[in-house]
Amino acid sequence: MAAKPPLEKVIQREICEWLDRQQLMFWRSNNVPVFSASGRNNQGEMRFRALPKFTPRGLPDVQMIIDGKFVGLEIKRPGRTLSPDQEKFGMRVLQAGGDYHCVHSLDEVMELMDKVYSI
C-alpha cells in the first residue's frame, strides 16, 4: 500500500523551518476565516470571525522578500492545484512585478531557491 502524501501543514512547517535556517525574510499567513473561541457569545457558542477588511482572497501561505522583490509561495499537497482565488492572486502578483510559485515539497522550494534566487 502506497504511503499517503504528507499533510499540507507538515509541508508548510518543513518549508518555513528551512527558510528560517537560511535566514530569509519571510512570514506565514493564514487566509482562512475561523471560528474563534475568543468570540464566544453569551451562551458559550463559538463565533465565526471573518478576515480583516482588505485581506485578499488567495493570499499565499508564505510571503517573502528576496533582493527587494515580493515572492509568494502557495504550498499544496502533491497532486493538489491552485483554487481560482489563488490563481487570480498569483496573476496580480506577477502583474505587479513580484513572483508567485505553487510548491509541493521542501525539495521543490530548495531547487527553486537555488535556480531562481541563487540561495
Residue 37, in any domain of the structure: no
- Contact status, residue 78 vs residue 71, Cβ threshold 8 Å: no
pLDDT in tens, 76-95: 999 999 999 999 999 999 99
Q: Total domain count for the chain? A: 1
Q: How confident is the model at residue 53 (pLDDT cuts 50, 70, 90)?
A: confident
- Give the pLDDT confidence score for residue 108 in this predicted structure: 98
CB-CB neighbours of 39 under 10 Å: 12
- The mean-pLDDT minimum among 29-38, 77-86, 106-115 falls in 29-38
* DSSP code string of 78-91: TT----HHHHHHHH
DSSP 15: H
The domain in which residue 83 lies consists of 8-31+44-117
Residue 63, in any domain of the structure: yes
Question: pTM of the full predicted structure?
Answer: 0.84
Residue 2, in any domain of the structure: no
Classified as helix, coil or strand, 48 is strand
The CATH number assigned to the domain holding 113 equals 3.40.1350.10
Q: Which of 51, 65, 61 is CA-nearest to residue 86?
A: 61
State the residue for C-alpha cell 477588511. Answer: 53
Residue 39, in any domain of the structure: no
CA distance 43 to 119: 53
